[in-house]
Each structure stands twice: as C-alpha cells, then as structure tokens.
Amino acid sequence: MPDKHVGQPLLRKEDPRLLAGQGRYLDDLGRDALAAAFVRSPVAHARITDIDVTDALDVEGLVAIYTYEDLPDRIAEPLPLLIPHPDLTHARTPHCLANGEVNHVGEAVVMVVATDRYLAEDAAERIRVAYRDLPPVVGVSQARAGDRLVHEDVPGNIAARSVQENGQGDAHSAIAAAPHKLTLDLEIERSASMPMEGKGVLAHWDADDRTLRVHSSTQTSTSVRLAVAAKLGLPPDRVEVVTPDVGGGFGVKIVHPWPEEILVPWAAMTLGRDVKWVEDRREHFISSAHERGQQQRIEVGFDDAGRLHGLSVEIWHDNGAYVPYGIIVPIVTSTQLLGPYKVGAYRVEFTSLYTNTVIVTPYRGAGRPQGVFAMERTMDAIAEYLGLDRLAVREANLIQPDEMPYDQGLVFQDGRPLIYDSGDYPTMMRMIRDLVGWDGFEAEREAAAGQGRRIGIGVAAYVEGTGMGPYEGAHVKVETTGEIVVSTGLTTQGQGHYTTLAQIAADVLGVAVADVTVITGDTRRFKYAVGTFASRAIVTSGNAVAVAAAKVAEKAKRIAAAALGDGIAPEDLELGDGVVRRKDDPGSFIDLQTVAVLSNPLRYAFDEAAKAATQFAAAANTGDEPGLEATGFYMPERSTFAAGAHGVVVETDPETADIKILRYCVVHDCGVVVNPRIVEGQVHGGVAQGVGGALYERIVYDDAGQLVNASYMDFLIPFSTEVPHIETAHMVTASGVNPLGLKGAGEAGVIPTSAAVASAVEDAERGRGATEQGLAIRRMPISPSELYELRKGRVHA
C-alpha cells in the first residue's frame, strides 16, 4: 500500500460492475412500472386551439392522458427560475405541459401513461393537437431584429442585458487612445451535451407511508428533491431522490426540475402506481437543452508589442425559448473570456435573447469555449496585423505568477469576485510551445509545402473558474465490519468519484482504498448537496470528505486512547494500516474496526465482537456520540482557477478543403491531482467534445424552427476515427483556496479547442507570398464546405 493514495493512478473501483453489465442506470430500474410518453409540439411557435384524445382511448393498456387542464395548482404554474439575477428582467420559464402556447419544437403538450412504452406511444400518436401558427424566431440575427417576438410581453426578445467593467477605466477611451485598433465579428453555432444516456425518471409513491421515492438521471438529486417536494406540496422529509448510475451528463442534467421530473412523480401519486419515463434520442434533441450559440463583436486597442490597452466585447446570446437556468452561460462567457491575460480597460455587454428553439443551459465548458474563441481570435488577429508571432503576442499579455492572486475586477458566476487564486501562465505557455513544437514548425511547414501539402499550427489558452460553492458535504463512517462508507450528496456521471473520494478518505483514515465504499447522489444517505457541474465535485466534495474523515480520525484516537488506557492521550496516537497506534510504539495498536465497535456503547451483545462494547466490559467512555462517524462540510470562499493551453497541428486538403488534425497537445493545470489516470481521461473526453464542436457538431434549425438534424445520423458526434491522439503534459500550481490544493478538471479539455483549431486552420491557409492572401476564420464550427467557400472569397493578386 502506498503511503498516500492521493496522486496515484489507481484503477477505478466502479469499473468491474459497469464492465460486467451490472450497472444500474435509470431504465434498468422499475421493470414493472407504467410507462409515460409525451406528445410534443411539431411546430416552433403556435397557439394550441384543440386537443382531441378520442382515438387514443381505444388503445389497450392506456392508463391516463394528461393535458395542461388536468394539472393542479402548483404543477400548473411555470417551472421555477433557478438562478435569478438582477439583470434578468424578463425571465420566462416553461410549464410542465404547454399552457395554450408552444415556443419550440419538442415542447411537451400531452402526457400519456400506459402499461408499456410501446402502448404509450401508440396512444400518443393517436392524439390530435390543432395549432394556429405564430411567426417563429430562429437564430440570433432574427432575435436581435426584434420584429417577431417569442413572448409577446418581452420586447425585443431581450431576457437580459448586462454590462460589466473591470475598473481599469473606460474601455472605449482606452481603445481610441491605443496605437492600433481592430474590430472582429464572430459567431459560434449551437451544440449540445448529448450524453449517451438521455434523461429519465422513475417514481414510486407509498400511499401508506405517504412517501415518494424518485429516481432521476440527474446531476443534482438533492435539489430535485426540494423542487419536487415544493411542486407536489409534500414536506421535503417525505421525498427521497436517488440518482442511479448515470450515462453521462455534461451539463444538460443539471437543469431541474425538468417537466418530466414533476409530472412522473405526480402521475405516480395520482395513479397509485410506479411510473417511469425514459427519454428517447429524438426527444433528447428536441426537448433537452442546447448551448454555445452566440454572436460577438470585439473591439480591441493595442500597442506595437501587441499589448492590449482596452477591450470591448458585445455578446448576443441565444437563450432559447425559456431561461429556467438564468443567464449563467453569458455571464461565464463574459468573465472567463479574459483567460490568462491582462487586457487593460475591459467592458463587456451581453444581451440574452429568446428564440423559438430548445432552451440553452450549460454544456461542458458552459460559455467558456465562446469566450476563449473571442479572446484567442483577437490575439491571432493582433499578431497578424502587427506581423508578430502569435505566441509572442499572447506572452506579452500574460498575468505573471508574482501577480497572483490576481483580481480581474469582475463578478463571477457565483456572485463572488473573479480573483484567480494561483497559476503560472508563462510556464504553461513555454510548455505548450515545447510540446507542440512551435519553434520548429516553420521548417515542417516548408517541408510539407514542398510536397504540395498545407499544414498549420494553432494555440489557445484558457483559465477556468472551478470548484465553486456554496458547499458540499460528506458523511464518513467506519462500520463495525471495518468497511469505511463515505456518503456525499453530489451525483456522479462517470467522473470516478467512487475512486477519487475513496483515495482522499483512505489517506486521512490510514486505510486501503479497497476498504472504502463511496455512495453518491442518494438523498436517503446524504441530504445536503449542490450538485456535480462546473468542475466542482472533487474540489468541494473532496475537501468535505477530508473534513469529515479528519473528524472520524480524531474521534477514533479519543476512543482508542481510552481503550488502550495506560495514560495514553489521543495526541500520542496516529492512524495507519487500518489501526490506531502509538506513534512511539507502533506495535501497540487497536484495529479501527474494534474502535468502531467500541464507539457504540451497547447493552446487548448481539455478536462476538459486540461483547467488547457492552456495559460490563471495560468500554471506552469518551463522552462522544455513538458511532465512529462524522459529517463534514466544505464551503469555499470563492472559486479556484484551473488553466491550460492547447496546441494543434492541422492539414487542410488543397483540393477538397478537408481538415485533418495531425497533432493535438494539451498542457493542463488543475492543481493537486487526486488520480492522474482519471484526470487524463477527463482531458481526453473534453478534447473529443471540443473537436466535435470545432469541426463536426452543430444543431441546425431551419427557418421554420424545425431541428433538421435531430438524430445521431445527422448530428455528427466524432467517432474514434475523427478524434486525434492527444498528447498531454501536466503542471501543478496548488490552489490556495482549499486545504487539499485542488482545482477542477471536468470541463477543461473542451474549452479552447474551437479556438485552437481555428487558429491552426487559419495558419494552414496562410497566404503564400505576395500572390495569395490568407483568410480569416470568424465562425466555428468549420466544415470542409465552409472552408472551401472561404477560399473562394480569397483575393488572388
């Protein structure tokens, strides 16, 4: 057993079960439950004039049909606005079932419950809904025009308008006074989280006990619990929410309560039967959340060295039909846009706009990929304008290590000041320079050109606020079997928490990781949590586990000291190798398991071990509460800031404009690493999604608001043949914000990918000599057809 488990690339404890087909995902549960299916709007914007269910009534196995009219008071009200903000002046949230109007294709209109899913869908397709079309608003440009309205009482389709300045003077004056100025108009298209498992809900109502148990494929079981209790008018104490194995989240499952998370439990209570709904893939495309879609205008003023004097950014953010998750995404874009740079006077203004499309809520990266795209395109444009090296321009603007902690002068998404806790960006940039072979690239380019090939190199850097509050907690218990059980309220969707949280607990308690069992996302086991999103789980829950485990360790020492007698004090003892032992005499020890037995003074000896704790035995009386267990919480004062830089080499086909990634390099700093194997995996997965977002994935709506590529056949998630081999290098600047020095790693890989690929493609298309201009990439993703079109616009001398 290594001295410390934290830092070791241990194999994952959860894997044998998942690999053997013994995972328990939502649809693996509730085999005998009734099945729900939904009639969803086929049009983007319309009034509902009639719902006729007559034909559906003949379907054998039909149990119930519900429309908006059937919903009782609180369930009939709009769903909550989860994250209010003073700038969100015109918040509109959806109803569980459409209340007379639909605002996007896929909005739920009718709920059908039947004895199985096939029959529920039979009934659903027999229900006739009549619509009177309203003009749809599709895309940012149409929303900005404001001549068509999504919500008739929201002028200009504007949900929110927000301005932040960094306190370093007026940005427009600084830009005007700078030696050089540039303006860039940029656009990022829609994409989506697309976990392989969609959403799903199973509800069980115990009428005798008046308790509701809900299973949901969610990223936050504790908050679903409170939301369900509030909507159904139940005391929270009567509602438990359990998150089973979850087949990926990537942000979409942090939104809650989804209409189905209210309707399915309500139907179960109403019918007195278990009810289950499992989202199919088309439903996921047209009714779960999307992200990314933005237009941006950037004005920048800079000097001869490429140093920024002022930066002004305007963002038009497509928030879809409703804003149940508030304006977190554009807040993140506008604050994290700054990356590792000092930009002089900064002003950012965003306008969050309604469109008749699926709601927009955080998808891995959560607004950062757009912000990094803006900043890094700007860096490249400055370098191009001045004829300077692109890395040199970036290096001229970096925040230096001795300036840490660095206050960016803005308010972050957690409402706290945007203060970078630590980081060494110059080293990070040197590392990516070396890893990707920046300095030797011109020779490679020449050699490739000699063979008639076009290759290019690009780089992009980011800073990511991670590990935000308000808090996470954990309960740690040493069972009388010797097993350690760690329960935390946050959920897990593949991040390896069963392993990493066990590593942290094992180190504090001096036991083997194999002896630690981790439980997540089950409100029966731990009721207080926020959720797994924003690269926060290991930071917040990891530190909470350490706090709780330390309390257990102290208690174990007190009990062991009393049991060992002989004048030994708790501070004379230490935990290690599964025992509590004397520091000065390791041969004198007591098993942690025995301490657990002694921690619970007994009257009755129900087994052999229990005898030691009975009242006529020499039990260790320390005055502690029974049980070798403790609860601990960690409440960060503010976020931690991870960082990284990506370098990429691409080849563009001179004829077909096909874009191929030849090399993909990552330098990554997430502070102290709990499990390097898992962090590496997170980076790989993020980059793959980034590559998708850069070259393949886009959600395509036509002018009528139909989502025309709502299948995996047409929405191009990369297969293994599209994702390059990823080369990684890690650096560690420990966070000073939390005791373990952790920063989050979950989202990192996806953040700068579009920016880095754009940089590399533009470089590959660089003009050759005086006869050919380069071209400017201002919009991502980029397909071969789009590159081909860009080439056609290139002016040849």
Partner 1 sequence: MTEQLHQVTLTVNGVTRRGAVPARRLLADFLRRDLALTGTHLGCEHGVCGACTVLLDGVPVRSCLLFAVSADGHEVTTVEGCCQTSGDLGPVQQAFLECHGLQCGFCTPGFITTITAYLEENPKPTEEEAREAIGGNLCRCTGYQNIVAAVLRAAELKREREAPHA
Q: Which two tokens stand for residue 481?
A: 């079997």
Tell me which residue of 191, 90, 192 sits closest to 149, measured CA to CA: 90
Looking only at residues 84 through 123 of this chain, which bind partner 1 when binding is defined by CB under 8 A? 118
Among 2, 712, 736, 768, indicate the residue that binds partner 1 (CB under 8 A).
712
CB 197 within 8 A of CB 217: yes
The contact mask relative to partner 1 for 231-250 (x = CB under 8 A, - = no) is --------------xxxx-x
- Return the number of the residue (495 or 540) whose C-beta is nearest partner 1: 495
Smallest distance from the beta carbon of 496 to partner 1, in angstroms? Answer: 7
- Return the number of the residue (31 or 796) whose C-beta is nearest partner 1: 31
Looking only at residues 737 through 756 of this chain, which bind partner 1 when binding is defined by CB under 8 A? 749
Q: Which two tokens stand for residue 88?
A: 């969100």
Binding span for partner 1 by CB under 8 A among 92-100, 304-312, 420-428, 714-722: 714-722
Looking only at residues 559 through 618 of this chain, which bind partner 1 when binding is defined by CB under 8 A? none
Among 1, 176, 196, 708, indicate the residue that binds partner 1 (CB under 8 A).
196
Question: Which residues lie below 8 Å from residue 660, measured CB to CB, with a gap of 6+?
Answer: 650, 651, 652, 653
Question: Which residues lie below 8 Å from residue 257, measured CB to CB, with a gap of 6+?
Answer: 79, 80, 224, 227, 228, 231
Looking only at residues 410 through 449 of this chain, which bind partner 1 when binding is defined by CB under 8 A? none
What DSSP element (H or E) covers 729? strand 726-730
Among 22, 141, 621, 785, indicate the residue that binds partner 1 (CB under 8 A).
22
Looking only at residues 52 through 71 of this chain, which bind partner 1 when binding is defined by CB under 8 A? 58-60
Smallest distance from the beta carbon of 57 to partner 1, in angstroms? Answer: 12
- Return the number of the residue (123 or 547) whose C-beta is nearest partner 1: 123
Among 20, 207, 795, 797, indicate the residue that binds partner 1 (CB under 8 A).
20
Give the DSSP letter of residue 168.
S
514 in contact with partner 1 (CB under 8 A) = no
Among 538, 723, 737, 751, indicate the residue that binds partner 1 (CB under 8 A).
723
Smallest distance from the beta carbon of 9 to partner 1, in angstroms? Answer: 8
Smallest distance from the beta carbon of 369 to partner 1, in angstroms? Answer: 16
- Return the number of the residue (338 or 513) whose C-beta is nearest partner 1: 513
Three-state SS for 4-71 is CCCCCCCCCCCHHHHHCCCCCEHHHCCCCCEEEEEEECCCCCEEEEEEECHHHHHCCCEEEEECHHHC
Binding span for partner 1 by CB under 8 A among 94-102, 477-485, 584-592, 709-717: 709-717
Give the DSSP letter of residue 624.
P
Burial class (CB in 10 A: 0-12, 13-18, 19+), 612: middle
Q: Which two tokens stand for residue 171?
A: 């940005």
Residue 31 to residue 45: CA distance in whole angstroms: 37
- Return the number of the residue (122 or 380) whose C-beta is nearest partner 1: 122
**DSSP, residue by residue, 447-512:** HHHHTT-EEEEEEEEEEEEES-SS-EEEEEEE-TTS-EEEEESS--SSS-HHHHHHHHHHHHHT--
| E strand intervals along 83-233 | 101-102, 108-114, 128-133, 158-165, 180-188, 200-206, 211-216
Smallest distance from the beta carbon of 33 to partner 1, in angstroms? Answer: 11
Among 19, 57, 176, 392, indicate the residue that binds partner 1 (CB under 8 A).
19
Contacts with partner 1: how many residues (CB under 8 A)? Answer: 57
Residue 66 to residue 570: CA distance in whole angstroms: 63
678 in contact with partner 1 (CB under 8 A) = yes
Burial class (CB in 10 A: 0-12, 13-18, 19+), 793: exposed
Looking only at residues 480 through 509 of this chain, which bind partner 1 when binding is defined by CB under 8 A? 493-496
Residue 358 to residue 338: CA distance in whole angstroms: 29
Residue 157 to residue 89: CA distance in whole angstroms: 11
Among 260, 424, 680, 763, indicate the residue that binds partner 1 (CB under 8 A).
680
Looking only at residues 276 through 315 of this chain, which bind partner 1 when binding is defined by CB under 8 A? 280-281
Binding span for partner 1 by CB under 8 A among 13-21, 103-111, 286-294, 649-657: 13-21
Smallest distance from the beta carbon of 419 to partner 1, in angstroms? Answer: 32
Smallest distance from the beta carbon of 15 to partner 1, in angstroms? Answer: 5
- Return the number of the residue (6 or 620) whose C-beta is nearest partner 1: 6
Residue 687 to residue 726: CA distance in whole angstroms: 8
Helix axes 328-336, 368-386, angle to 10 degrees: 30
Smallest distance from the beta carbon of 644 to partner 1, in angstroms? Answer: 15
CB 279 within 8 A of CB 259: no
- Name the residues that contact partner 1, by CB under 8 A: 11-12, 14-16, 18-25, 27-28, 31, 58-60, 118, 194-197, 245-248, 250, 280-281, 493-496, 677-678, 680-682, 684-689, 711-713, 717, 719-721, 723, 725-726, 749
